[in-house]
Amino acid sequence: MLFTAGGTIYVEWGPIRISEFGLINGVYIFCRFVMIIFISTAITLTTKPIDLTDGIDSLLGPLRKLNIPVDEISLMLSISLRFIPNLLDETQRVMDAQRARGTEFGEGSLVQQMKTLVPIFLPLFTNSLNRAEELANVMEVKGYQSGIKRSSFRKLRWKTCDTITLCVMAALTIGLILLRLN
């Protein structure tokens, strides 16, 4: 919005210009971010993390021929999806502890608000690193080694609803590309 020129210029301050095309571009980008958040939220709320991991592993399967570590990417996704709720709970606990010490969030200038977030991020970052190290130790103790061919408990099967979903998503993607070109 601030750096796209074109159309009527509403505000100009040095290199920053708010113009008609900039506002339109800003609205498009904002809508894209909102759609990404909605779609990712809908997917994570309606699909089990292990099913997402298996699906991504299956879809990225052909990249194995290019020596891309698909199994490691799937494992990272699975671990990250598994720990997002824990991280949210821990954030709430840390914020409650900071409130109990007298910290008030959302008040003051922008700089003051940023300073109130530091006591939240430091414990979260430290605890996340500790949890990652603990998980790495557990995986090592259980004998996990990357690059080894593993069997799968569940086998994915292509169904008619998968084909319909793929066609709808392809049509939406083509529609968005065509809208972007116009």
Does 32 reside within a domain? no
How many structural domains does the chain have?
1
Please list, in sequence order, all residues whose beta carbon lies within 8 angstroms of the beta carbon of residue 87, skipping any fewer than 6 positions away. Answer: 124, 128
Does 103 reside within a domain? yes
Phi, psi at residue 148, to the nearest 5°?
-90, 135
Helical (H) or strand (E) element with 135 = helix 110-141
Does 166 reside within a domain? yes
Does 37 reside within a domain? no
Does 102 reside within a domain? yes
pLDDT, tens digit, for every residue of 132-148? 899 889 988 988 877 67
The one-character DSSP state at 103 is: -
Q: Domain limits at 63?
A: 47-181
Does 25 reside within a domain? no
Does 6 reside within a domain? no
The per-residue pLDDT string of the chain (182 residues; one tens digit each, 9 = 90 and over) reads 666 667 777 877 777 777 888 888 888 888 888 888 888 788 878 888 778 888 888 888 899 899 888 888 888 888 887 788 888 889 889 888 888 888 777 777 778 778 878 888 888 889 889 988 998 899 889 888 776 776 767 777 888 988 898 898 889 888 878 877 76
Does 17 reside within a domain? no
pTM for the whole structure: 0.55
